[in-house]
Amino acid sequence: MAAGRRVQDIADSIKARINAIDPEAVAKSMMAGIETATSARWEAAVARAAALPDGIRPEKLNALSASFARELAAVGAAAGMAAATPLVGTGATLMAATVELSWFTARAGDLILTIAALHGRPTPTVDERKAWVMAVLIFGSTARQGLTGVANELGAGLSDVNPSKLSIATLRAANNMMSRLVVRRYGTRRGAIALGTALPLGIGAVVGAGANYVAISRLARQADLFFSRLPYSSIDATSTELKP
């Protein structure tokens, strides 16, 4: 009887949190995280990559991934602990989950940019950084093909992301398109995790920690694959802009 009541309490909590979600707030939270990482943290990413222990790139990548995974697991657990407190209501736990979502997205961006620096990328523009981060967040292991596909939807006609054919204007248009995809694709995945983090009875802390650890580890592998296959630069400031 007690076990059945506990399951019902969890189900009721999930339903209440689903009904309380503000999609616009979630979207703003994710985009704020991306803006934070890409607008002002490239130098920090370069310094972080340079400070990694000596070794070949896979060893450095493993060290970087492990460090970020531990950090974000702790953040996810902390967000989940709020829901374990009986005095904290649904609104407060959802606010904590939204803040955690923004923080996770920003740190995911930091991880992706650090891996870009680890691959020896030259100093990129903010637009290029955004394209890198959003492509990996949205498309994962198929980020290179996904970015090419977005450019082709804008009329680029590429077989791959070709530096000589992708202008800054086209890249910015691609970023605008991907900003909408981020909410629908990446946002759906992370929103589900954020919702799980908000579960009561201490369950949210377990969900938040485990989900964040796995997500960061997977993201590191996907970003490494993306930069190992992406042409050295994805923009060319002197290329001819595509007709709208």
Q: Contact 76/52 with Cβ under 8 angstroms?
A: no
pLDDT digit string, tens, across residues 1-34: 565 565 455 555 555 555 555 567 777 888 899 9
pLDDT, residue 238, reads 41
pLDDT digit string, tens, across residues 137-181: 999 999 999 998 898 888 766 666 754 467 788 889 999 999 988
61-99 burial: b if 16+ Cβ within 10 Å, else e? beebbeebbebbbebbbebbbbbbeeebeeeebbebbbe
Q: Contact 162/115 with Cβ under 8 angstroms?
A: no
CA angle (169 as vertex; 164, 171 as ends), nearest 5: 70
Q: Contact 125/170 with Cβ under 8 angstroms?
A: no
Q: Concatenate the DSSP letters of all residues of 134-154 into one string.
A: HHHHHHGGGHHHHHHHHHHHT
pLDDT, residue 138, reads 93
Joined tokens for residue 190: 């992370």
Mean pLDDT of the chain: 75
How buried is 51 (Cβ within 10 angstroms: 0-12 exposed, 13-18 middle, 19+ buried)? exposed
pLDDT digit string, tens, across residues 61-104: 999 999 988 887 776 655 555 554 544 445 555 566 667 778 88
Count other C-beta atoms under 10 Å from residue 172's C-beta: 16
